Amino acid sequence: MKRQSELPVFAQGVGRLKAALHASLAPASRCKHPGALLDTLQHWNDSYLRSDSPCLSGYRSLADLGYTVSPLVISQPEQMTAVAQVSGLFSEEGITQLRRACYQLEAGSSTSDWIISNRTRAATQLSTLIREMMNSRAFLLAVSRIAGVPLVPHPFLRARSQVNYFYPPQGQYDRAQIGMWHTDGTSFVLNILLSDPSEYEGGEFVYFDGPVERFDVDGLDDCVRTCSVGTSGDAVYIYGSRVFHGVRPLTKGRRMSLVLSFHCPYSEVDVNKFWHLASDDGVLSTIRPWLQLKRDLALAPCDQYQRLGIDPITFADVAPSLVPR
């Protein structure tokens, strides 16, 4: 019996190419309330981060997951976080403001057959709070320490941020909203769970405890781990391109999460594949942003930080958190 069969696997290889062509032909899915005011116009304040360091639990490095070769030459698999549950990152006020912003953004959400069924994309473009948070050095430093390498917001805007909304099936013939088994198009990914666990049932964040090459949806049982969420504002950090993960269907309530992607400016390597992006947006509308992405990735690290208007984050700044707690 396949206990995990409730989650399908997102198209790989040729399947993804087909999904890209399909996305090019299908009309864009419509958002729920296109005219609604989305932005709370709330500004980010670094006091929305807690002053003490966040607590990491269930820490697994890429080496722990079975990777022997680092995806980036600038760091070792032992030093790069594959998965960590993060608590105590945001202050209460920070969580309240993020929840408000993401509730508002639901008006702009749309459903599709893509990996995540119901989401609002490019949240940094729509929300002052989320945009300013992503550009805050204090926030970037906190996430860099969790990741084990210095980070900037991912240069590809449509992959940088999204808010996911999960509900159980509403009608008899509806499908539950899920996150299929997938790897992300980006590597450094912070999934912030903004709903309190008391607000929903099901919707567990699961990941495959092994390298992607060993992932086999028919033989998962011993290797699937569930990340527990203590309270709203807790997060799951993953090295998204090398960790298969998904979100189980909800059976009750509603689950809202803010997913943020980052890039390490000290490496030009970016795993994002044209076909991954195109399977979301269609081939034609991916070409220009793809070329822009290549130009952005070629910028020197100091220029990438300068563009954000902040002092560079260095490996020395990040080192204190290399010792997992």
Instruction: Give DSSP secondary structure letters for 5-62.
Output: GGSPBPP-HHHHHHHHHHHHHSPPPPPS-TTS-----PPP-GGGB-SSPPEEEEEEET
| Residue from 141, 196, 197, 135 nearest 161 by CA | 135
- Looking only at residues 213 through 252 of this chain, which bind ligand AKG when binding is defined by CB under 6 A? 245, 247
Q: How far is CA 169 from CA 132, 166, 179, 187, 206, in A?
A: 35, 9, 14, 31, 20
204 interacts with Fe ion by CB under 5 A? no
The three-class DSSP label of residue 217 is helix
Taking the least distance from each CB to ligand AKG, the nearer of 234 and 296 is: 234
245 beta partners: 182, 207
One residue of 147, 164, 165, 184 binding Fe ion per CB under 5 A: 184
Instruction: Please list, in sequence order, all residues whose beta carbon lies within 8 angstroms of the beta carbon of residue 5, skipping any fewer than 6 positions away.
Output: none
184 interacts with ligand AKG by CB under 6 A? yes
257 interacts with ligand AKG by CB under 6 A? yes
164 interacts with ligand AKG by CB under 6 A? yes
7 interacts with ligand AKG by CB under 6 A? no
Only segment of 2-10, 183-191, 228-236, 264-272 that touches Fe ion (CB under 5 A): 183-191
What is the rounded CA–CA span in Å between residue 81 and residue 88? 18
Taking the least distance from each CB to ligand AKG, the nearer of 207 and 305 is: 207
232 contact choice in Fe ion, ligand AKG, none (CB below 5 to 8 Å, kind-dependent): none
- Looking only at residues 102 through 161 of this chain, which bind Fe ion when binding is defined by CB under 5 A? none
191 interacts with ligand AKG by CB under 6 A? yes
Q: Which residues contact ligand AKG (rule: CB under 6 A)?
A: 116, 164, 179, 184, 191, 205, 245, 247, 257, 259
Q: Which residues contact Fe ion (rule: CB under 5 A)?
A: 184
